[in-house]
Structure 1
Amino acid sequence: MESEVLHIMDIKELQNHATNIRKNIIKMIANTNSGHPGGSLSSADILTVLYFEEMNISKENLKGVDRDRFVLSKGHASPLLYSTLCEKGFLNEEDLLTFRKINSPLQGHPNMNYVDGVDMSTGSLGQGISAAVGMALSNKTDNNDHRVYALLGDGECEEGQVWEAAMAAAHYKLDNLCAIVDFNGLQIDGDIKKVMNPTPIDTKFKAFGWNVITIHGHDFKEIEKAFEEARNTKGKPTMILARTVKGKGVSFMENNAGWHGTAPNKEQCENALRELGD
């Protein structure tokens, strides 16, 4: 009974982290009147588990080699990464309010040269997962047992470079690599199946030689279990297909492609924060 209570408390703590991350996503995008809220909100639960339970990363090892790495392959969701780094204590909320401002290190796409905790500069879709494959291969070559994680968008899987990276990862048996696809079904032009249908993403990754796990991307227990399975899978990389809701947590943004890259105005920001419990 005691362990069950502790687990429930852990889930509540994760929920609090995810809510804070979502609030800061809304605040920073509204403050600068620019950014991508939809796909940032949909992945907040995934990054919460990744940064607060799964990855070996802390202030003490942030600049070192001996830690896990994360690549935001869908780099336009930079508010998600910056908000998570803030929640982790690597940035402060004042930093977030400089997002996309002149001379700010927090650019619209993350730049590893300017922000501690950003492990790869990303923006052009498909290149992030390719870089993650290289990082995982380097770890294998150097006998470094730390892991590499990459978050992709489902629309990003329309890029051919994603599949070249998938082929290479399986060929080199990169079991230290875990990719997560944020499968919210929408991209900037609408339904992914109508724009350029990349589905079935799960069976395609399986055909390329990956271990594939399909989960509900807002269920912390399923996310935790998937990462555990990925860690225990040997001889092949793992892809977690996370079924999510674009704009998750803000009712008027949910499942609405129009919020892919649209900033909320002052009233919408206030309404969104109210829904999130501010």
Structure 2
Amino acid sequence: MRAVEPTFERTADPENLQHIASAVRQKIVRTIALAGLGHVGGDLSVTDILTALYFDVLDIDPANPLKPDRDRFILSKGHCAAAFYSVLSLRGFFDPAAVDTFMKPLSPLNGHPNRRKIPGIEANTGPLGHGLPIGLGAAIGAKVTGQSWRTFVVVGDGELQEGSNWEAAMAAGHRGLDTLTVIVDRNRFQQGAGTEATNRLEPLADKFRAFGWDVIDVDGHDVGALRDVLATRGSGKPRAIIAKTNKGRGVSFMEDLVDWHHKVPNAEQVELALKELAR
């Protein structure tokens, strides 16, 4: 009989958050190996960002996922659904054992998040460049109705090659949407190559500033630093957090290797990865 997986409560303690992030990473590796499909490199790079948000920063309630005054979160890089499902389940939105069905026939846990099938998901994502425009609409909604809840959007850095992001960024800066925060998972790799070899993004911070955003650079694997910058809101401007991360973070033979964008670990690699992540 399978042991019952523990869920985790909200915490502001960086050490506790790091422990949760380790549990999330182990769950990601097991999930993708079991499914034989996934995007392990980007899942591992975004883990600390999702952990800081879901286990500390976001005003959410797993028992009431549609409460009207909740904060909104959108994972624009929807191909990293294994990380999202792992975090949602360990936060108590649904049974962690259900993640074992990831990508299986008729499973509600598709390769991209679907808000009609899983509690805690605000928007269906997958086609890149959609998340920030959706987040823009949510932030406008909060402003025109006088609501104080915040909207957070995580985008992949390669995804910023989509022009729809910059149309949304221009509109957000023009409207002074200071309840909107975008977090860039700046792991420097996309499918097939590095971002700068594919279509140069730098100077990325200056691009956001040119559209009227506050910009903060942060170590995307320092959960304490992440929670500190994410917990504060801008003043009169939307905020862009450029989180410097590593593809495949936490697993030595995956880190910063483009092959692990969607490579699946074999049994021996899973065992090695879990040993490293449990340290």
Give me the TM-score of the superposition, normalised by structure 2: 0.93
Tell me the distance in 1 between the aligned counterparts of 2:161 and 2:104: 31
Of residues 114, 119, 143 in structure 2, which corresponds to 1:116? 119
Aligned residues: 269
Instruction: Give the C-alpha shift of residue 129 in structure 1.
Output: 0.8
Residues 1:189 and 2:192 are matched in the alignment? yes
User: How large is the RMSD of aligned CA atoms in angstroms?
Assistant: 1.4
Secondary structure of 1:117's aligned partner: coil
- Consecutive unaligned residues in structure 2, runs of 5 or more: 1-10
Of residues 53, 69, 78 in structure 2, which corresponds to 1:66? 69
Instruction: Give the C-alpha shift of residue 221 in structure 1.
Output: 2.6
Contact 1:29 1:35 in 2 (8 A): yes
Tell me the distance in 1 between the aligned counterparts of 2:130 and 2:72: 16
Contact 1:61 1:67 in 2 (8 A): no
Secondary structure of 1:97's aligned partner: helix
Contact 1:41 1:80 in 2 (8 A): yes
Instruction: Give the C-alpha shift of residue 220 in structure 1.
Output: 2.1
Contact 1:100 1:107 in 2 (8 A): yes
Of residues 219, 228, 232 in structure 2, which corresponds to 1:216? 219
Tell me the distance in 2 between the aligned counterparts of 1:160 and 1:20: 36
Secondary structure of 1:18's aligned partner: helix
Residues 1:24 and 2:39 are matched in the alignment? no
- 1:7-42 Cα offsets, whole Å, 9 max, x none, are x99122101110111011111110010000101101
Q: Which deviates more, 146-155 or 88-97?
A: 88-97
Tell me the distance in 2 between the aligned counterparts of 1:181 and 1:58: 25
Q: Which residue of 1 aligns with 2:209?
A: 206
- 1:165-199 Cα offsets, whole Å, 9 max, x none, are 10111111110000000001111111111111122
Secondary structure of 2:240's aligned partner: strand
Q: Which deviates more, 257-266 or 55-64?
A: 55-64
Secondary structure of 1:59's aligned partner: coil
Query: Where does structure 1 differ by over 3 angstroms across 4 or more consecutive aligned residues?
Result: none
Tell me the distance in 1 between the aligned counterparts of 2:64 and 2:236: 27
Instruction: Give the C-alpha shift of residue 235 in structure 1.
Output: 1.1
Of residues 101, 106, 109 in structure 1, which corresponds to 2:109? 106
Contact 2:73 2:122 in 1 (8 A): yes
Q: Which residue of 2 aligns with 1:125?
A: 128
- Consecutive unaligned residues in structure 1, runs of 5 or more: 1-7
Residues 1:269 and 2:270 are matched in the alignment? yes
Residue identity opposite 2:102 in structure 1: F
Contact 2:62 2:120 in 1 (8 A): no
Q: Which deviates more, 58-67 or 19-28?
A: 58-67
- % identical aligned pairs: 44
Q: Which deviates more, 149-158 or 85-94?
A: 85-94
Instruction: Give the C-alpha shift of residue 240 in structure 1.
Output: 0.1
Tell me the distance in 1 between the aligned counterparts of 2:166 and 2:160: 8
- 1:72-102 Cα offsets, whole Å, 9 max, x none, are 0111011111011011011222210100111
Tell me the distance in 2 between the aligned counterparts of 1:243 and 1:32: 28
